Amino acid sequence: MATAYHNLSEYDFNSVPNAENMKFGIVVSEWNFNITGALLKGAVDTLKKHGAKNENILVKTVPGSFELTFGANQMMENCDIDAIIAIGCVIKGDTPHFDYVCMGATQGITELNATGDIPVIYGLITTNTMEQAEDRAGGKLGNKGDECAITAIKMIDFVWSLNK
């Protein structure tokens, strides 16, 4: 999505289902925690705004964004949750490390979605600069964490609607 055309925190509140009976796992990278911590806060606050209970939000940390796939997979296998939000931040540096971490995390999350039974929400922001990351973590472009929470709620509702 081009965030230049859409604020990450803007959405129609009334289009979001009630999350009171939904259970969420959030796996968050410790790397760039000034950014991922803000994304986490946005996600948790938005989940609660839509009725999610504290006891139904499980948050676990992993060292970096590359480890998000493993963390999400472990949550999927070992926790009673309806969706997982994977939160990370990779900022481009001077080496191709950025490309490998972004590609690996993206492919891993995609594979979990294709093979798993619950949705894994892509909350990895990949930017060229710290300023761009800050803009997406509660700055002028909103908070990607808000968007991830809304996506998780809507995807749980989607799955539940198929199982009625």
Would the annotation count 66 as a binding residue?
Answer: yes
* Beta strand 83-91 pairing with 24-29: parallel
94 is in an annotated binding site: yes
- Please check if 67 is assigned to a binding site: yes
Q: Which helix (H) or strand (E) holds 35?
A: helix 33-49
Report which of 147, 132, 119, 128 is spatially closest to residue 39, judged by C-alpha positions. Answer: 147
97 catalytic residue (yes or no): yes
What values do phi and psi take at 107, rounded to 5?
-65, -40
147 is in an annotated binding site: no
Would you say 20 is a known binding-site residue?
A: no
Catalytic residue among 97, 99, 110, 159: 97
Q: Is 136 annotated as a binding residue?
A: yes
- So which residues are the catalytic ones? 97
What residues are designated binding site for (2S)-2-hydroxy-3-oxobutyl phosphate? 94-95, 136
What residues are designated binding site for 5-amino-6-(D-ribitylamino)uracil? 31, 65-67, 89-91, 122
What residues are designated binding site? 31, 65-67, 89-91, 94-95, 122, 136
